Amino acid sequence: MTRYLHLVPLHKYSRFVSRFHTNKAAIVTKAANFTTTAATPWNTQLRNLSKHGQYYEALILYLQMLQSGATPNAFTFPFVLKSSASLSLPITGKQLHCHVFKLGCESEPFVQTALISMYCRCNLTESAQEVFDEIPQRSLTVCYNALISGYVQNCNFLNGFSLFTEMRQRGVPFNAVTFLGLVPGCTGPQYLWLGMSLHCLNVKCGLENDLTIANCLLTMYVRCASMELTRKLFDHIPEKGLITWNAMISGYAQNGLAAEVLELYHEMELLQVNPDAVTFVGVLSACANLGAQKIGLEVEEKIRSSGMRCNVFLKNALINMYARCGNLVKARIIFDEMPEKNLVSWTAIIGGYGIHGFGNIAVELFDKMIKTGIQPDGTVFVSVLSACSHAGLTKKGVNYLDLMKREYGLKPCSEHYSCIVDLLGRVGRLEEAHKLIESMEVEPDGAVWGALLGACKIHKNVELAELAFNKVVELEPTNIGYYVLLSNIYTEANNSEGILRVRLMMRERKLKKDPGYSYFECKGKTHLFVAGDRSHPQTKEIYKLLNRLEDTASQHGGANTNGQEVINQEPPNIMGVHSERLAIAFALLNTEIGTDILVIKNLRICGDCHLFVKRVSKIVDRLFVVRDATRFHHFRNGTCSCNDYW
């Protein structure tokens, strides 16, 4: 029996064991005192450990079992295989497979299935397939189920699906678990029709009342980006469980439908369905997208009062919510107090500082994160690069792109390049930015060319702007913002022919300027304005204040991003007074000094309003403008810390 001893090096696990509760360790010790060589008492202990997720302990117990001279049997292996699978220990798993052979347990169906599952969970689907192929009577539904879900979880949906087809051809009965393994493989719009046919099959088999399957299908529709079908299914589920609600809420949140999230959350409250951590994560994500700090605060209070243990997911969601709503102090406190921060926590706080113009802090935190030994990924690089671009840290940003490629072997995608283009473009290195786009190893998307177009506006380069515009409308022909941007570039260049050409193009393509809106959250109520709005009860005062502001502001003059005088006036909105101006005036009328944040949506459409904001912030010392979630403007106390035109 001593030959088994090198199966799992004991010292490797002892440090994990010491981290567990002492009473759990006591089970191990107690078991180690067995003098019997019979397998049964060991198996019982193994079952207890694996049932409670004590996988390391289970493996150690198995070692002790071998040491004591007991011989494992067919009942032993499923528990230990599950343990090595859960811990993703392929070497241990393979050694266990050898033991299975040595002890002649390889033809036990339960062991075979456990082996397939173990290999799949260690990302060794080929080995799993080998085990599967060795099974003579391949009629076992569970073996198929294990391998199908294994393929799906290893991102090989097509193999999983063809196994399902084989199963049906052979007449092997499938069941609910087959669906649960297969359906999550439909992870994109291209699989929607397959997912729908599985849904139909599921109804045909009379499994439609299985709540677990319904939840699974719901998530499938979310992943296929079909929120209408998701909602339709949701409405048809008669007795929804908490997971059903959570799947719907996080589905909306993941697809950016923040208003729907809050509506659903409210409905949950009315029906007195008790939310859990997963629910709150979705709701907080919606608050972050809307900049709705008030609701976020309520949610935090609710979490506290419910005595819920705040897990990492929830803490990260809170950090993200506060950071995006502009409350960096609160976000930082939560971040600092986290005993174990993960990559997402760092990304959230770095991104928070970045979008509010505190590029230096963001960069500092990023470097600290690297020192902590956390391996960065593409997303955290997006955060730090955009932080650099918002704060004008050109050199740092370029260095990070290099670091990302060289040190970490990460392939930059369009998002990274658009940050760098923005960065170079803003300081006037337009040609360099253009060359970078041409040299990209991935196809540039609209945002990349859009960043160049925006930079062309700042530096009044009409020629390059036309080039960028032609590229960008090819990629995003219906994005009105780009037409407006080019039109504004022509306006500044006094090129009336160009303006006409853009207008004509918009008319030909039947593009109408989206009614931009701005809103301001005040005393728990959201006040929404559209351009030329006169429906608000305070309309009179708002317009009066606006006139006064315009007068004072024009006396103060303005400066463009190079510090030169702005010669031309902002083009008036054809719809009337810009919605941003109305919201700003309303906010100034109704807020206390220094306490409120004004959230402006859709500045992208009439970006020229920022000149107004800039001028106003020179004469009003409490203006703090946060733009929508993707790109924020930051002006404070009259100093513009961000030259962002977009």
Terminal alpha carbon distance of the chain: 71
Which residue's CB is nearer to DNA, number 92 or number 383? Answer: 383
Instruction: Please classify residue 188 by burial: count the beta carbons closer than 10 Å to its beta carbon, then call 0-12 exposed, 13-18 middle and 19+ buried.
Output: exposed
Nearest in space to 73 (alpha carbons), one of 117, 30, 41: 41
Which residue's CB is nearer to DNA, number 307 or number 594? Answer: 307
Helix, strand or coil, per DSSP, at residue 407: coil
DSSP string covering 166-192: HHHHTT----HHHHHHHGGG--SGGGH
Rounded to a whole number of angstroms, the minimum distance from the CB of residue 518 to DNA is: 23
Residue-level length of the chain: 646
Which residue's CB is nearer to DNA, number 46 or number 613? Answer: 46
Place of tokens 């019979």: 38
How many CB atoms neighbour CB 74 within 10 A? 18
CA dist 536 and 539 (Å) reads 5
* 386, 419 Cβ separation under 8 angstroms: yes
Strand ranges inside 289-335, DSSP E:
none
Q: Which two tokens stand for residue 47?
A: 């079952």
138 contacts: CB under 8 Å, gap ≥ 6: 132, 144, 170, 172
Which residue's CB is nearer to DNA, number 284 or number 430? Answer: 284
Rounded to a whole number of angstroms, the minimum distance from the CB of residue 599 to DNA is: 17
Which residue's CB is nearer to DNA, number 54 or number 215? Answer: 215
Rounded to a whole number of angstroms, the minimum distance from the CB of residue 464 to DNA is: 32
Rounded to a whole number of angstroms, the minimum distance from the CB of residue 130 to DNA is: 17
Q: Which two tokens stand for residue 638?
A: 């009259």
How many CB atoms neighbour CB 92 within 10 A? 23
Which residue's CB is nearer to DNA, number 316 or number 561? Answer: 316
Q: Which two tokens stand for residue 400?
A: 């990070």
Nearest in space to 472 (alpha carbons), one of 442, 437, 435: 437
Rounded to a whole number of angstroms, the minimum distance from the CB of residue 326 to DNA is: 14
Place of tokens 């397959």: 194
Which residue's CB is nearer to DNA, number 13 or number 110? Answer: 110
Nearest in space to 527 (alpha carbons), one of 604, 612, 609, 584: 584
Which residue's CB is nearer to DNA, number 370 or number 493? Answer: 370
* 82, 14 Cβ separation under 8 angstroms: no
65 contacts: CB under 8 Å, gap ≥ 6: 39, 42, 46, 72, 76
Rounded to a whole number of angstroms, the minimum distance from the CB of residue 66 to DNA is: 16
CA dist 517 and 324 (Å) reads 19
Which residue's CB is nearer to DNA, number 114 or number 585? Answer: 114
Rounded to a whole number of angstroms, the minimum distance from the CB of residue 259 to DNA is: 16
Rounded to a whole number of angstroms, the minimum distance from the CB of residue 73 to DNA is: 7
Rounded to a whole number of angstroms, the minimum distance from the CB of residue 74 to DNA is: 5
Rounded to a whole number of angstroms, the minimum distance from the CB of residue 506 to DNA is: 33
Which residue's CB is nearer to DNA, number 152 or number 640? Answer: 152
Rounded to a whole number of angstroms, the minimum distance from the CB of residue 613 to DNA is: 25
Strand-strand pairing, 517-522 and 525-530: antiparallel
Which residue's CB is nearer to DNA, number 243 or number 625? Answer: 243
